[in-house]
Structure 1
Amino acid sequence: MELGHLSTDALASFAVFADHLNFTRAAEDLHISQPALHVKVRKLAETLGRPLYLRQGRRLVLTPEGEAVARFARDLDARVTTFLSGIRGTSPARAPVLAAGEGAYLYLLGDVVRPGIRLINAGRAGTLAAVRTGRADLGVAVLDVLPADIRAVHLASYPQTLVMPDDHPLAARPSLVLADLAGSPLVVPPPSGPHRIALERALRAAGIPWSLAVEAQGWPLLLHFASLRVGLAVVNGCVTAPPGLVQREITDLPAVPYYALHLPGRADDPLVTDLLARIRASLPTGL
């Protein structure tokens, strides 16, 4: 079937490609050859007169036009499914799709994750892309700059805390300031991560000397190294410290805001509103 000059088959194939951003895996899902998928995507781009993806190093990323096409393709598929269900007298209901990162799933959304919800595990950029392309109905992420094209609903803000063994000298204090970290070995994320960048910027601005104990990816590994006394770790206040560790708020670091993200036109969509209500009802209170 064609819409004007747009092939619905090509649109559906592009939506699968947008999920993976990998021609090999997308072609496997579609049960077609990789060259055949390349042809579909290339002809779709030629029809629209716009590039739909770009290569950044070894990665493929969607252009804004590519995001719009993927979003349109998924919306079209949903409309066709609803139409056919109405004709056949069956229910068009589908499971809501939630996108978030590892930390949000572990410490913020645990009570929301249950059968009947499809999950996408992605970092901040991947969560934003999943919402923009319509792959996810709702995303949850920490944002320092709110996007203009996505509705961002504030969920909660949590203080930044220092995690340390419960017999550490700083554990006796009810709260801390950045200056208390002077000279401490710290367990921190890799340099490219937003948490690491913000923490280093704050320490540098305050003139606080510190040393690198080890770099670790993800809150669980940071906590693990802190429990092994490799160094101290700065984590968001929604993170739960395991036995043997304590966490104290660092009062002169800004709170970390978590947002729920969805497309502007879906503010009244039950798939979005019901999932958002579940998340709000389950949020931890923090310290």
Structure 2
Amino acid sequence: MDLSRLSTDALASFAVFADHLNFTRAAEELHISQPALHVKVRKLSETLGRPLYTRRGRRLALTSTGELVARFARDLDARMTAFLDDVHGTAPGRVPTLAAGEGAYLYLLGDVVRPGVRLINGDRARTLSAVRTGRADLGVAVLDVLPADIEAVPLAAYPQVLVLPDDHPLTAKPHLTLADLADAALIVPPPAGPHRIALERALRAAEIPWSLAVEAEGWPLMLHFASLRVGLAVVNGCVPPPPGLTGREIIDLPAVPYYALHLPGRADDPLVAGLLTDIRASLRSTPCTSRSPSTSTPPPRPSGPSSPMSNAGPA
């Protein structure tokens, strides 16, 4: 391997590409042509002798090597910035970056979303990638399997609840079981979503018949359809029912655990520690009822099986 060909320019360009996973948008940010960026990434891949990204249909995804390269490039940029700050006697300008999904931002992290915190919005896979590549200092996600290469700090675990109109007969019960969902018309996410897959698996295992009311993406739209009495919705317990709706815990579905995610060795980093402190304060101020993460069974490491409902919902 000719390491003299490993240019800092190519590394910096690849870090921008890793942010977007789109050559057109990355090239625009770098103020270069798309073919020029393609050449930089291709030559970097050839120098390392490893593919840096894969194409899945029309979507691009980083390989494990690509994640390592992006993390190294960002670390190199941070060290260079700190060095120049020392040379010029200027104050460090690092900004904490948080990655999470729609549900976490809407129902868990409201007090953390403020000026001075850079935000990345994406599903669980994108959140994990943002942490692995160093793009995010901290991520928040629901996990069914604990990653081996990332520190996962338990935050809270929430029960699964059925959201239904205030005047529905099931509201007379303090809590529900899957059997209470028999023959119900349910509002569910699209088929490929983890919440839909896990819910169907649990209902099938319990031999509970049900019908599809409507497919909806995200908790807000599911709650909107429930308000219109289109059907009933199973959501995470951190999602407060709007006026006119009531939530009842389904006691034979396992709790949904949220974790804070960061790279090993960064627990004492002021950016990571500061975000964690703010998140815990935000969780204490939310009206949601959670199950203590210390009393919940933690998800397995990658080699273990996953719980049927532990990955439910838009994290």
TM range (shorter): over 0.9
Following superposition, the deviation at residue 173 of structure 1 comes to 1.1
What residue in structure 2 maps to residue 286 of structure 1? 288
What residue in structure 2 maps to residue 233 of structure 1? 233
Letter paired with 2:57? G
Following superposition, the deviation at residue 132 of structure 1 comes to 0.6
* CA shift digits 1:85-136 (9 cap, x unpaired): 0111101132100000001000010111111000000000010011011111
Q: How many residues align?
A: 286
Gaps of 5+ in 2: 290-315
**Equivalents in 2 of 1:16, 1:190: separation in Å?**
31
**Equivalents in 2 of 1:210, 1:264: separation in Å?**
44
**Equivalents in 2 of 1:147, 1:259: separation in Å?**
11
What residue in structure 2 maps to residue 258 of structure 1? 258
What residue in structure 2 maps to residue 20 of structure 1? 20
**Equivalents in 2 of 1:93, 1:268: separation in Å?**
18
* CA shift digits 1:54-83 (9 cap, x unpaired): 111111111100000000000000000001
Letter paired with 2:288? G
Following superposition, the deviation at residue 5 of structure 1 comes to 3.0
* CA shift digits 1:135-166 (9 cap, x unpaired): 11100000000000111000000000000110
Identify the structure with bigger relative contact order (alpha carbons < 8 Å, sequence gap 6+).
2
Q: Does the alignment pair 1:148 with 2:148?
A: yes
Q: Does the alignment pair 1:136 with 2:136?
A: yes
What residue in structure 1 maps to residue 34 of structure 2? 34
Three-state SS of the structure 2 residue aligned to 1:141 is strand
Gaps of 5+ in 1: none
Letter paired with 2:118? R
**Equivalents in 2 of 1:250, 1:160: separation in Å?**
6
**Equivalents in 2 of 1:193, 1:120: separation in Å?**
20
Three-state SS of the structure 1 residue aligned to 2:265 is helix
**Equivalents in 2 of 1:164, 1:155: separation in Å?**
27
Runs of 4+ in 1 over 2 A off after TM superposition: 2-5, 284-287
The question of whether the paired residues in 1 share the 8 Å contact of 2:3 and 2:47 is answered with no
**Equivalents in 2 of 1:150, 1:100: separation in Å?**
15
**Equivalents in 2 of 1:3, 1:228: separation in Å?**
62
Letter paired with 1:171? T
TM superposition score normalised by structure 2: 0.89
What residue in structure 1 maps to residue 75 of structure 2? 75
What residue in structure 1 maps to residue 57 of structure 2? 57
1:69-218 paired onto structure 2 within 5 Å: 69-218=69-218
Letter paired with 1:114? R
